[in-house]
Amino acid sequence: MIQINNLTKKFGEKEAVNIANLHIAKGESVGLVGNNGAGKTTLFRLALDLYQATTGEVLNHGLNVAKSEDWKSMTAAYVDNGFLIEFLTPEEYFYFHGEVRGLDRSEVDRRLVRFEKFMNGEILGQKKYIRNFSSGNKQKIGIIAAFLAEPDIIILDEPFNFLDPSSQIEIKRILMEFNQQKGTTTLISSHNLDHIVDVSSRILLMENGQILKDIDNKNGEAVAVLNTYFETK
């Protein structure tokens, strides 16, 4: 599904990512953890062809993301507010995403029903532009737009940020539902170890751009490993 080969990214003399080999199989739920500056967001941006790699490659469905556009129809992501079009209303933004994905408005409306609890009556019908929403609701809008496509792969960077506890619980339910029922491959990062352990069957621990540990979390055993590591930092 995703294959990384000899991938590096440098900003000047600083090496932000250095991963020799990483394979993520179809249907895996993968969590990425690490302290600030570990390289998590840079890795996601490389995987989405938002950064040009210094060396190496990222393959998505066997396609080099830097040389093909075809993988984009099978992948969706929300990394930060730069993904939003803030002069649109949420409805306009969702319909725009639907149009890009070949969905008519009635199908977008049908798919939005799944997210009613997550939206909590605060997103649709507000008659205001995205730029005028709170940080938490902007986060929700971006996340929902990514899920609307029902992609093979979904990448979310710090999806729990700015969300209240009820919304955090709901986004975890949505992530697990897509992964377990639709077979969606999920890649998420978070500073919150409890959240990442809850939704990930495999956890990658990053430091200084490298993957230090690749932890099987199918039985929840990653908690002790992660706590031991971060307690020493």
Residue 118 and residue 115: Cα distance in Å, rounded?
Answer: 5
Residue 121 exposure: Cα atoms within 13 Å on the Cβ side: 0
- pLDDT at res. 231: 85
The CA–CA distances, whole Å, from 130 to 81, 90, 126, 139, 161 equal 10, 6, 10, 10, 17
- pLDDT at res. 132: 98
- pLDDT at res. 83: 95
pLDDT tens-digit map of 157-196? 999 999 999 999 999 999 999 999 999 999 999 999 999 9
Name the residue type at position 52. Answer: Q
What is the DSSP track for 71-139? Answer: GGGGEEEE-SGGGS-TTS-HHHHHHHHHHHTT--HHHHHHHHGGGHHHHTTSSTT--S-GGGS-HHHHH
DSSP strand pairing (202-207 vs 210-216): antiparallel
Contacts of 37 (CB under 8 A, 6+ apart): 208
Full-model pTM: 0.95
- pLDDT at res. 223: 86
Instruction: Identify the segments of the chain with pLDDT beneath 70.
Output: 233
Structure tokens at 64: 């080099």
- pLDDT at res. 219: 84
CATH architecture, range 2-231? 3-Layer(aba) Sandwich (3.40)
Query: For residue 219, what is the DSSP state?
Result: T
Contacts of 62 (CB under 8 A, 6+ apart): 3
Judged on CB neighbours under 10 Å (0-12, 13-18, 19+), 63 is middle
Q: Where are the domains of the chain?
A: 2-231
Find out whether 4 and 19 touch, Cβ atoms under 8 Å.
yes
Residue 40 and residue 189: Cα distance in Å, rounded?
Answer: 7
- pLDDT at res. 28: 97
Residue 26 and residue 217: Cα distance in Å, rounded?
Answer: 17
